[in-house]
Amino acid sequence: MKREKFVVDPVTEEMRKRAKKLGIRTVWERYKENHARSKDAPFQATCTTCQQGPCVNVKTHGVCGMNKDIIVSKNLVSETTIGASAHVGHARRVANILRGVGDGSITAYSIKEKEKLDCVYKGLGLSGANTDEKKATEIADTILDDISKLEGTPKMLLYRALEDRQKLWEDKNILINGACPEIMEAQNRIAMGMDADMKNLLLGACRLGLVDAYCGMYPATTIQDILLGIPNITKIKTNLTVIKRDEINIVVHGHIPLLADAIIDATEEYNDEKEEKENKPKINLVGMCCTGMEVLMRKGVNYGGDILQQELAIATGAIELFVADIQCTQPAVVDAAKNFHTKVIMTDPMSKMEGAEYIEFDAEKAEEIGKKIVDMAVENYKNRDQSKVFIPDYEPHEMVAGFSTEELLKVLDKVKPGDPIGALVDQIKDGNIRGICAVIGCVTPRDTYGFRTVELIRELIKNNILVVLTGCVATVASYHDLLKPDSSYPGVGEGLKKVMDAVAKANDLDAVPPCIFMGACVDNSRIEEVLNAVANYLHVRIDQLPVAGSAPEYIAEKAIPIGIWTVLLGIFTHIGDQPNIAASERVVKFLTDDIEDIFGGKFYVEADPYIAAEKIIGVIEEKRKALGI
C-alpha cells in the first residue's frame, strides 16, 4: 500500500516521457529489455574461466568438477577485485598529482589545507620534511608505495583503522600487503585449477575490502581535501532543473574532481569577463555522479543528477558538453547525445568511449585544458537548437551539504565546546539519537526510482536514527527534501528533532537537514573516521556501537568491497539486492550469517525498505541493550 502512495520525482518522470517521445532509450527501458530476456541470469552459477566450458547455470558441478559454491565464490572475488581496482585507480591518479604538486612539476593545484597535510604526514608515521612541498611528496610516495609494495601493511591502514580491528584482521589472516599484489593474487587465486575452497575464497574477497578502503577511498579523500580544500557547510540546488535554458551548460561527471576544478576556474574567468560583454550567455556548471558531489561539497556547484539521470540530462537538449573523468558513465550517453548538438568528452586513457571525443586530462596542463573545454562549450552553444530544449517546470530542490568530518566536529563543538564527539555521544546515551545508519551507494533501475532509499530513510529518521549519506542515494533523498533545512522537521522523530533544533540553535542556523550528507562514495572514509572517534570515546569496539550500514540500491562493483569493508569493521550491513551469489546457499549463509562470528558484522539482504528499516532498528536497539544504554 505504502509503495503505491510513493510519489516518484516528477522531474525524472517528465524527462523519461520526453526521452521516450524522442526515441531516446533510457536505462529503465534497457533494464526491462535485458531483464525480461534473462530473468534468472543474475542468480545463476556460471563459469567462463576455461575453454572446457563455458559452464552456464551450473546445477552441481562444472566440467572441471568445481562445485557451484566455488564458482559463485570465484565470481564474487572477481567482482570485488574490479570494485577495489576502481578505487585504487582513483587514489593512484590523485597521488600522482599530489606528487607533482610537491616536486613543482604541477602548478595548477596547490596545498590548500596545511593543517591536514601536517596531520596526515604525522599520522602516516613520516617525519623530517621541512617544507609543505616535501611533506606532500612524501605523503604521495607513501600512498603510492601502499598501492605497489609487495610486502608490508599499507601505512594508511595502520594510521586509520582501530588497533583492535587490525589485530583481528591479522589473526584471521586477512591483513593486506600493497594493493597491487593483493589484486594480482586475487586474480591468481581464481585462475583455472587454483583456489577451490569456498571459505578461503571468500576470505580472499575480504582482503579486497581492506584494499578498497585503505589504498582507495581513504587516500582519495585525503589527497582531494589537501589539494582542493576540506568541505564546509554549503547550500546548493539539485535535480535536472538546475540546467538552464538561457545559459551554456557543461556537465561535469565522474569521480575525480581535479579536472572539474580546472573547469570551474575557467568558467569563473569566463563568467567574470562576461559581466563586461552583456551579449554573451553565462556558463552554468552542472555536477553529476560523484564528481558532481565533490564539486558541490567544496565549490557549491549545483547538482544535476545521479547515475540513472545521465541520458535525461542530455535529453533536455540544453547541454553543450558532457565531460566525464572516470567511472559510472553509462555508454548510452553517446546515443542520447546524437539527438542534439551535445558533445560527450572523455578524458582518461582507461575510460574512452566510442562515439565520444577524447581530451586527455594532464594535470600539468590543467589550466589549458579547463580553458579549452570552456571554449568548446561556448563554441558549441552556437549549434544549440532552442526549439529542441525542454526542462521541466519545477523548482530545483535545496540541499545542505559539506559535512566533512572536520566540519561535523566544528558544528558539534558549538553544541558542547571542547568536546564535539561528547556532544554526539551524549545524545546517543540519552536516547534522543537511538543510533546511526550510513545509507550509501547508488540508485537502481530495478525498482521504482528512489523508492527504497527514500522510504528507508523516512522510517529511520521517524525512529530517531541519525542518517548519514554518501553517493547517489543522496540525490533521491534530496528530491524528497530529506537534505533540506526545514525548521518544522516533518517526519522526524521527537528525539532526533530535539537534537537537530539544538544543533541549529548552537550554530545560529534556522534549521539543519534531517540527514547528514558527507560526500561522494570515496568519502565513506569520513564515516569510519567519525565511528572510530565515537568508539574510542566510549572505550568500546566499533562493532559494539549502535550503528548499521545500508546500500538499498547498490549497482556498481565498487559497492561490493565497500560493503565487505563495513562488515569487516563489525557493522551490520544491509543491501537491497542479492549480489550474484544466490545460486549458492553456502555462500549466502557464509556472508549473511557465519561471517558475523569472525568479524562481528554481516550482510543482510532485503529489497523492501520497511522490512529492512525494522531490522536495522532492531539491530541498533540490541546493540544499545548490550552496551547498557
User: Which residues are CB-contacts of 4 (< 8 A; sequence separation ≥ 6)?
Assistant: none
**Applying CB under 6 A, what is the total number of residues that bind ligand BF8?**
14
Pick the closer one to ligand BF8 by CB: 216 or 420. 216
3-state secondary structure of 67: strand
Place of cell 596547490: 110
> Would you give the binding string for ligand BF8 spanning residues 132-161, x where CB under 6 A is met?
------------------------------
Pick the closer one to ligand BF8 by CB: 100 or 305. 305
Q: Which residue among 62, 178, 441, 563 contacts ligand BF8 (CB under 6 A)? A: 441
Q: Does 92 bind ligand BF8 (CB under 6 A)?
A: no
Cα–Cα distance measured from residue 607 to residue 150, given in angstroms and rounded to the nearest whole number? 40
CA–centroid distance for 311 within its chain: 20
Work out how close the CB of 488 gets to ligand BF8 at its nearest, in angstroms, rounded to a whole number: 30
Residue 252, strand partner residues: 287, 323
For the four alpha carbons of 468, 472, 475 and 476, in that order, the dihedral sign comes to negative
Pick the closer one to ligand BF8 by CB: 99 or 255. 255
Provide the terminal-to-terminal Cα distance of the chain, rounded to the nearest Å: 35
Q: Does 289 bind ligand BF8 (CB under 6 A)?
A: yes
Q: Cα dist. 192→57, 62, 187, 195, 454 in Å?
A: 18, 12, 10, 8, 43
Pick the closer one to ligand BF8 by CB: 520 or 620. 520
Work out how close the CB of 440 gets to ligand BF8 at its nearest, in angstroms, rounded to a whole number: 8
- Helices 451-462/609-627 angle, 10° precision: 40
Cα–Cα distance measured from residue 149 to residue 215, given in angstroms and rounded to the nearest whole number? 11
Cell of 361: 586530462
Pick the closer one to ligand BF8 by CB: 86 or 436. 86
Half-sphere CA count of 106, side-chain side, radius 13 A = 24
Work out how close the CB of 520 gets to ligand BF8 at its nearest, in angstroms, rounded to a whole number: 6
Work out how close the CB of 524 gets to ligand BF8 at its nearest, in angstroms, rounded to a whole number: 9
User: Which residues are CB-contacts of 130 (< 8 A; sequence separation ≥ 6)?
Assistant: none
Q: Does 399 bind ligand BF8 (CB under 6 A)?
A: no
Work out how close the CB of 521 gets to ligand BF8 at its nearest, in angstroms, rounded to a whole number: 3
Work out how close the CB of 158 gets to ligand BF8 at its nearest, in angstroms, rounded to a whole number: 25
Q: Does 307 bind ligand BF8 (CB under 6 A)?
A: yes
Pick the closer one to ligand BF8 by CB: 121 or 303. 303
Q: Which residue among 205, 428, 442, 482 contacts ligand BF8 (CB under 6 A)? A: 442
Q: For the purposes of burial, counting CB atoms within 10 Å of the CB of 33, is it exposed (0-12), middle (13-18) or buried (19 or more)?
A: exposed
Pick the closer one to ligand BF8 by CB: 468 or 556. 556
Pick the closer one to ligand BF8 by CB: 190 or 288. 288
Work out how close the CB of 231 gets to ligand BF8 at its nearest, in angstroms, rounded to a whole number: 16
Q: Which residue among 15, 156, 290, 312 contacts ligand BF8 (CB under 6 A)? A: 290
Pick the closer one to ligand BF8 by CB: 520 or 612. 520
Q: Does 471 bind ligand BF8 (CB under 6 A)?
A: yes
Please state, as a whole number, how many other Cβ atoms lie within 10 Å of the Cβ of residue 262. Answer: 24
Beta strands in 456-614 (DSSP E): 465-470, 515-517, 547-551, 572-575, 603-605
Work out how close the CB of 472 gets to ligand BF8 at its nearest, in angstroms, rounded to a whole number: 3
Provide the residue type at 241 as one letter: T
Pick the closer one to ligand BF8 by CB: 543 or 557. 557
Cα–Cα distance measured from residue 221 to residue 521, given in angstroms and rounded to the nearest whole number? 10
Q: Which residue among 55, 223, 260, 472 contacts ligand BF8 (CB under 6 A)? A: 472
Q: Does 421 bind ligand BF8 (CB under 6 A)?
A: no
Q: Does 255 bind ligand BF8 (CB under 6 A)?
A: yes
Work out how close the CB of 326 gets to ligand BF8 at its nearest, in angstroms, rounded to a whole number: 10
Cα–Cα distance measured from residue 614 to residue 606, given in angstroms and rounded to the nearest whole number? 11
Q: Does 328 bind ligand BF8 (CB under 6 A)?
A: yes
Q: Which residue among 217, 521, 571, 587 contacts ligand BF8 (CB under 6 A)? A: 521
Place of cell 559510472: 328
Work out how close the CB of 417 gets to ligand BF8 at its nearest, in angstroms, rounded to a whole number: 36
Instruction: Please say whether the beta carbons of 160 and 525 come within 8 A.
Output: yes
Residue 276, Ramachandran bin (φ over 0: left; ψ between -120 and 50: alpha; else beta): alpha
Residues 549-578 that bind ligand BF8 (CB under 6 A): 556, 558
Work out how close the CB of 510 gets to ligand BF8 at its nearest, in angstroms, rounded to a whole number: 30
Cα–Cα distance measured from residue 619 to residue 612, given in angstroms and rounded to the nearest whole number? 11
Work out how close the CB of 243 gets to ligand BF8 at its nearest, in angstroms, rounded to a whole number: 18
Cis amide prior to 396 (ω within 30 degrees): no
Q: Which helix (H) or strand (E) holds 324?
A: strand 319-324
Half-sphere CA count of 485, side-chain side, radius 13 A = 16
Cα–Cα distance measured from residue 9 to residue 480, given in angstroms and rounded to the nearest whole number? 8
Work out how close the CB of 484 gets to ligand BF8 at its nearest, in angstroms, rounded to a whole number: 21
Cα–Cα distance measured from residue 345 to residue 356, given in angstroms and rounded to the nearest whole number? 6
Pick the closer one to ligand BF8 by CB: 139 or 296. 296
Pick the closer one to ligand BF8 by CB: 442 or 496. 442
User: What HEC string does 463-477 produce?
Assistant: CCEEEEEECCHHHHH
Q: Does 526 bind ligand BF8 (CB under 6 A)?
A: no
Pick the closer one to ligand BF8 by CB: 106 or 556. 556
Work out how close the CB of 399 gets to ligand BF8 at its nearest, in angstroms, rounded to a whole number: 16
Cα–Cα distance measured from residue 245 to residue 512, given in angstroms and rounded to the nearest whole number? 31
Pick the closer one to ligand BF8 by CB: 266 or 319. 319
Pick the closer one to ligand BF8 by CB: 407 or 557. 557
> What number of residues does the chain have?
629
User: Which residues are CB-contacts of 131 (< 8 A; sequence separation ≥ 6)?
Assistant: none
Cα–Cα distance measured from residue 110 to residue 388, given in angstroms and rounded to the nearest whole number? 42
Residues 210-239 that bind ligand BF8 (CB under 6 A): none
Work out how close the CB of 544 gets to ligand BF8 at its nearest, in angstroms, rounded to a whole number: 28
Contact positions vs ligand BF8 (CB under 6 A): 255, 289-290, 306-307, 328, 441-442, 471-472, 520-521, 556, 558
